């Protein structure tokens, strides 16, 4: 089973850059997408169901902002749109699809870079999402939470870690939170487990020559329950085509849906 997660920073823009072709050749069973920046009415038939895949999405109320989607070869047995918390669901940040004992979640965790009030909102989301993660892992289901978590966990996950310790996305409180998700709740950072010493950057600033110089951050994850993590075989960050300021994270699991 191949699962891909990709922040496209505007699905219409990504399609113009070849994202639909990438989906076709990717051999993915499930694709999680974040930052659609589109309303449902803006989604073409190909964006709703690329290459005949089954699609579910959660768009933000605000135009041109946020939004997540999930595409799968197999039709889901059940779907959950949103967290059931209006203050977060208005921004289109969560969609879940179930396939037998497997649950796949496309998540777009808030960024706090634009203003202090957005960082406060991010902390509110973290506080609300932690018990949800606890409840999910307690179900005993095989679960993967794919998406843009907007936090680089460890020094290896960010090129310029010394210079970013006071910046959103690498603040001590954020790093400690994701550390508790792993150490206390038992979620597994699949990339870091497979490749303890490989940076695996998935996001680069558009400023300067960050992408060309590989001055990146690893903020896109596939967080899995332990049993599912144990089936992970290989992973890579796809950089052959640049669809946005993020690159798709691809992980192969010895698992059937």
SS3 157: helix
**140: buried, middle or exposed (CB in 10 Å: 19+, 13-18, 0-12)?**
exposed
Q: pTM of the entire structure? A: 0.97
CA-based diameter of the chain, in Å? Answer: 46
First to last CA, the chain: 8
Domain that holds residue 243: 2-253
Extract the residue ranges of the chain whose pLDDT is less than 50. none
Strands 94-99, 102-108: parallel, antiparallel or unpaired by DSSP? antiparallel
Consult the annotation and say whether 155 binds a ligand.
no
Q: Are 57 and 68 in contact (CB under 8 A)?
A: yes
Consult the annotation and say whether 7 binds a ligand.
yes
Give the number of domains in the chain: 1
Alpha carbons within 13 angstroms on the beta-carbon side of residue 145 total 24
pLDDT given for residue 190 in this prediction: 98
pLDDT given for residue 177 in this prediction: 98
Hey, which residues are catalytic here?
108, 148, 246
User: What are the residue ranges of helices labelled H in the chain?
Assistant: 11-16, 19-25, 45-48, 86-89, 116-138, 172-183, 190-194, 226-229
DSSP 180-206: HHHHTT--EEHHHHH-TT-----EE-S
DSSP category for residue 66: -
| CA pair distance 3, 30, nearest whole angstrom | 5
Consult the annotation and say whether 87 binds a ligand.
no
According to DSSP, the residues that pair with 249 across neighbouring strands are 5, 237
SS3 50: helix
Check which CATH number belongs to the domain holding 50 and give it. 3.60.10.10
Q: Are 6 and 35 in contact (CB under 8 A)?
A: no
Consult the annotation and say whether 245 binds a ligand.
yes
Tens digits of residue pLDDT in 167-177: 999 999 999 99
pLDDT given for residue 208 in this prediction: 85
């Amino acid at each position: 089973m191949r699962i891909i997660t990709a922040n496209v920073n505007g699905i219409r823009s990504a399609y113009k850059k070849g994202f639909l072709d990438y989906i076709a050749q990717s051999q993915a069973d499930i694709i999680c997408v974040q930052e659609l920046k589109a309303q449902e009415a803006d989604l073409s038939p190909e964006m709703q169901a690329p290459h005949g895949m089954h699609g579910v999405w959660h768009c933000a109320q605000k135009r041109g902002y946020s939004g997540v989607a999930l595409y799968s070869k197999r039709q889901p047995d059940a779907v959950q749109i949103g967290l059931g918390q209006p203050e977060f669901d208005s921004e289109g940040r969560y969609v879940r699809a179930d396939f037998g004992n497997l649950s796949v979640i496309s998540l777009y965790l808030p960024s706090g870079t634009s203003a202090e009030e957005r960082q406060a909102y991010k902390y509110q989301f973290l506080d609300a999402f932690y018990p949800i993660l606890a409840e999910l892992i307690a179900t005993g289901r095989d679960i993967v939470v794919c998406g843009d978590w907007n936090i680089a966990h460890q020094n290896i996950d960010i090129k310029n870690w010394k210079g970013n310790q006071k910046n959103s996305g690498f603040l001590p409180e954020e790093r400690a939170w994701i550390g508790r998700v792993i150490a206390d709740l038992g979620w597994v950072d699949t990339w870091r487990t497979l490749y303890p010493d490989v940076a695996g950057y998935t996001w680069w600033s558009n400023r300067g020559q960050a992408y060309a110089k590989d001055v990146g951050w690893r903020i896109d994850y596939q967080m899995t329950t332990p049993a599912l993590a144990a089936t992970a075989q290989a992973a890579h960050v796809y950089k052959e085509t640049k669809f946005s300021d993020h690159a798709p994270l691809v992980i192969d699991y010895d698992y059937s849906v």
